[in-house]
Amino acid sequence: MNVLKISSITAFAAVTFFACSDKGSEPAKKPESPKPAATKPAPAAAEKTTNTATKAAAPATEGSGSVVLSGVVNFTGDIPKEKKIDMSSQPGCVKVAKDSMTNDYRIKDGKVQDVFVYVKNPPKKKYNVPKEPVVLDQVGCRYTPKVIGVMVKQPVEIINSDPMMHNIHPLGKNTFNLAMPNQGMKLKKKFKKEQVLTPIMCDVHPWMKSYAGVVKHPFFAVTDEAGAFSIKGLPAGTYTLAAVHGALGEKTTEITVGTSGEVKAEFAFTAP
Amino acid sequence: MKSERFGAHNRSLASGHMWPFSVMSGIEMWRNLSVLLLAGSFGLTTLGCDWQKMQEIKEPFKLYNPEDEEKPILVSVDRLKRGQEQYILYCRACHGVNGDGQGPAGIGLIPPPRNFASEELAFKFGGVAAGELPTDEELLRVIKGGLAGTAMLPWDLPDETILDIIQYIKTFNPVWTEDEIGEVVEITEDPWGGTSTSAIQAGKKLYHSKAQCVLCHPYYGSQEEVYAWSMELTGRASTNFREDMYEPQAKMSETYGNKLLPIDFGRQPIKAGATPKELFRTIASGIGGTAMPMWKDAIPDKEIWAISHYVSYLHKMKDKPAYKDMMAKLKAAPPYTPPAKPTEDEDAE
C-alpha cells in the first residue's frame, strides 16, 4: 500500500470518527424545570460567628439571642401586570374562585409581600423542629398562603377546602404528588430536603402556584402585606441574610447582630 | 476506463488520474474506494456514532443506607462490571453509553428512553409513591414486563442478570447515593373477588363523579348519566362539564419539560399493564414526574379496585367498533338540562 492510499484511508477514518463523536457528545436534552429566579442553596460551610469590635460573642445556643432582626422588602419601578386566568377548562373553579387574576407580584405602596427572608449561614447545629404544623390550604382553586416557610421535617398540614379535587404536587427536591379528592380532606406531610424555594403546583388546575422555603434552622420569615418580616433568636454574629421572591429572584445583604436589641435590614427589588 | 457519457470532468476520476488516486488504474481505484466505503460503514455501525468511552469502574458504588447514613451499602466492582457488560449489550443502544437516553437507537423514540442521569430523575411506574426511587424488585418487574406501546420490550433475561444491570444503572446518578428508596405501595387483595359487573358499574360511577378522574381523563358517559351518578355517590350533582369532556386534557410535566396526555383508555396503550391488578398499582402509586397523583389513602382501596376493573373493561374495547360507536354517540348527544330544583346542592366536579 502506498502512502497516498494509507493517508486517504486514514483521512476517511478520521472523518468518520469526528462525525460520530460530535453526535455522541451531544448533550442530553434537559427538561426545563421551573426554577425560581436565582435561588442558591444555603452554603454548607460552617461559619464561625465573628465579633465586631464593639460586641462580645454569645455562645451559639439556639434561641439564646434575644435579638429581633426585622425589616422590610421594598420595590421600585413599574409593577408587572397580572394576567387573567382562564379557568374554562375546569368550570367548577369558575364558580368558586374569588379571584381569577394571577398573584405573582403582590406589591402595595412599594412593599413586597410573599418574600421568603432567611439567614443563609446560621451557626451549624441541630435545631429543634417544631411540632406545630404550617398550614397550606386550597381555596377557590388557589393556594393560601402563597408562600410558606418551614423547617426540614416540620409537619405541613395541607387542606382541601374546595368542593372539587386538587392534587398537591411539590416539585424539585421535595417532590411528591398526592390526590385530594374530598372537600375538607387534610394531609400531614414533611419536607425532607432543604430547598429555597420548593415550587408547589396542582396539575388539575395548572394556574395554581405556591412556594415553600424549606431550611434546617428557624431563622426565616415570610413578608406580609406591608412587606415586613421579623426573625427572632439569632445568636450574635455576622451573617448573610437573603430575600427570595418567586418571580423577582433573590437579594442578599450582610448583617451583624449582637446579644440583644433590634437589628434592621432592608431589601430593594426593582422591576424585572 | 474512459467514458464519454460522463464528459470531460469525470474523465480523470474514471481513469484514475485524480489525486490521491493518480497512481492507480481505474479498476484498482474503484476497488480501493469500495474498500474504504465498506470500512467506513463498518466503523459507523460498530461505533454506532456513539464514540464515547464507557465509564471505567474503579471502585464500589455507594448506595444510601437508611439505617446509617455514614455507612453506605456498597455494590462491588465485580458486580458493577458484570452489570456494565450486560448493559452495553442490551440497553445501551437506546439508553446510551452514559445512561442519558440518547443512545443511537433511542433518538427519535416517543416516549424517549429513560434518562437515568437526569437531575430530575423520576421513574413513572416504580410501584412506590410517585416521585420516590423504586426498589430493585420493582425495576426488575418493569424491565421483565416491558412497557406496552413503547420501545421498552419485555426482557426475557435471568433475574440475576437484570439485577446486575440495575445496580450498574445506579452509577449514572448520584441520587442513589443521597436519597433513600421509596416504600412499595401495598397492593391489597381485591375485595370484589375478580372482574364482575358490579365492580365495573361501581368503578364507572366513581370514575365519573366521586374520584373525579374526569378532570383530566375523558368522560365515557353522557351528561345525564354523570348527573345521576354524582348525585347518587356524593349528594351533589355535577352540572359543569368542560367543553372537551370526551377528550383528555394535556397536562404540562415540569419534570419532563413537555405536555403529556392523560390516557384515553379506549384509544391508547396502557404502558404498565391493563389488568385490574396492574391498574391498581399504577393508580395507587401515581405516575412519577407526571400529573397523575398517588391515590392510595386518598380513597379506600375498594374504590381503587372498582376503578381498576372499570378501566380494564374500557381498555378491552380498544380498537373495537364498540368503543368508536360509544364515543360517537356520546359526542353527538345534546347538552343535558338538569331538572329545576333548589340551587343549594348544585356544585362543580
Mind listing the pLDDT tens digit for each residue in B138-168? Answer: 999 999 999 999 999 999 999 999 999 999 9
CA distance B206 to chain A (A): 11
Among chain A residues, the shortest Cα distance to B294 is held by A178
Best A5, A152, A173, A190 member to test B by mutation, with max B CBs in 10 Å, is A5
Nearest-Cα distance to chain A for B158, in Å, is 30
**CB of B327 within 8 A of CB of B158?**
no
Q: Percent of chain B scored above 90 by pLDDT?
A: 76
Cβ–Cβ < 8 Å for A121, A43? yes
Question: What is the model's pLDDT at position B29?
Answer: 84
Are B47 and A204 a contacting pair at CB < 8 A? no
Confidence bin at A169 (pLDDT 50/70/90):
very high
CB-CB contact of A177 with B131 (8 Å): yes
**Closest of B281, B311, B23 to residue B129, by C-alpha:** B281
Amino acid at residue number A10: T
A168 has pLDDT over 60: yes
Cell 338538569 sits on residue: B338
| Predicted local distance difference test score (pLDDT) of residue B246 | 96
Question: Which pLDDT value is given to residue A52?
Answer: 36
> Residue A51: what pLDDT?
35
| CA angle B276–B283–B158, rounded 5-degree value | 70
pLDDT confidence of residue A167: 97
Residue B221 C-alpha, separation from nearest chain A C-alpha, in angstroms: 18
Residue B153, chain A, CB below 8 Å: the answer is: no
Chain A residues inside the 8 Å CB shell of B131: 175-177
pLDDT for res A14: 60
What's the pLDDT at B37? 86
H/E stretch holding B10 reads: helix B7-14
Express each pLDDT in B263-273 by its tens digit: 999 999 999 99
Instruction: Name which of B347, B311, B338, B143 is nearest B224 in CA terms.
Output: B338
Question: What band does B280 get if pLDDT is binned at 50, 70 and 90?
Answer: very high
Strands in A147-151's sheet, in edge-to-edge order, are A147-151, A209-215, A195-201, A166-170, A178-180
Per-residue pLDDT band for B291 (boundaries 50, 70, 90) equals very high
Q: What is the DSSP string of B215-226?
A: GTSPP-S-HHHH
**What's the CA angle centered on B210, arms B218 and B265, to 5 degrees?**
25
Q: Of the ranges A50-54, B52-56, B294-298, which one carries the lowest mean pLDDT score?
A: A50-54
pLDDT of A42 over the 70 cut: no
* DSSP 3-state percent helix, strand, coil across chain B (nearest 5): 40, 5, 55
Give yes or no for residue B198 having a pLDDT over 80.
Answer: yes
Per-residue DSSP letter, A229:
E
Residues 156..215 of B with a Cβ closer than 8 Å to A: which? 210-212, 215
Confidence of residue B187 (pLDDT cuts 50, 70, 90): very high
3-state SS, residue A238: strand
Give pLDDT, residue A272.
87
Give the helix/strand (H/E) hosting B143: helix B136-145
What's the whole-number average pLDDT of chain B?
Answer: 89
State the Cα–Cα distance between residues B213 and B223, nearest whole angstrom. 15
Percent of chain B at pLDDT exceeding 70: 88
Which chain B residue has its CA at the smallest distance from A23's CA? Answer: B49
Global pTM value:
0.81
Chain B residues whose CB is inside 8 A of the A21 CB are 51-52
C-alpha cell, A67: 435579638
Nearest to B26 by CA among B16, B12, B13, B11: B16
Other Cβ atoms within 10 Å of A38 Cβ, number? 12
Using a pLDDT cut of 90, give the percent of chain A over it.
Answer: 73
How far away is chain A from the Cα of B230, in angstroms, using its nearest Cα? 12
pLDDT at B238: 86
Contact B254 A34 (CB under 8 A): yes
CA nearest to B119 within chain A:
A30
pLDDT in tens, B91-130: 999 999 999 999 999 988 999 999 999 998 999 999 999 9
Backbone angles phi, psi at A177, to 5 degrees: -155, 105
Residue A169: strand pairing partners: A201
Number of neighbours of residue A259 by Cβ within 10 angstroms: 15
Read off the pLDDT of each residue in B340-349 and give the average, rounded to a whole number. Answer: 54
Cβ neighbours around B21 below 10 Å, total: 21
What are the distances in angstroms from CA A59 to CA A56, B190, B249?
10, 60, 57
pLDDT in tens, B297-310: 999 999 999 999 99
Of A26, A29, A177, the CB nearest to B294: A177
Residue B344 confidence (pLDDT) above 90: no
Q: CB under 8 Å, gap of 24 or more: what pairs does A27-31 form?
A: A28/B96, A28/B100, A28/B101, A28/B102, A28/B115, A28/B117, A28/B118, A29/B102, A29/B257, A30/B118, A30/B119, A30/B257, A31/B118, A31/B120, A31/B253, A31/B254, A31/B255, A31/B256, A31/B257, A31/B258
Please identify among residues 11-30 of chain B the ones whose CB lies closer than 8 Å to any CB of chain A: 19-23
Asked if A94's CB is within 8 angstroms of B240's CB, the reply is yes
**What is the value of ipTM here, to two decimals?**
0.83
The predicted pLDDT at position A113 comes to: 97
Q: Are A17 and B51 an interchain contact pair (Cβ–Cβ within 8 Å)?
A: yes
Put simply, the answer to whether B49 touches A13 (Cβ < 8 Å) is no
**pLDDT tens track for A185-203:** 999 999 999 999 999 999 9
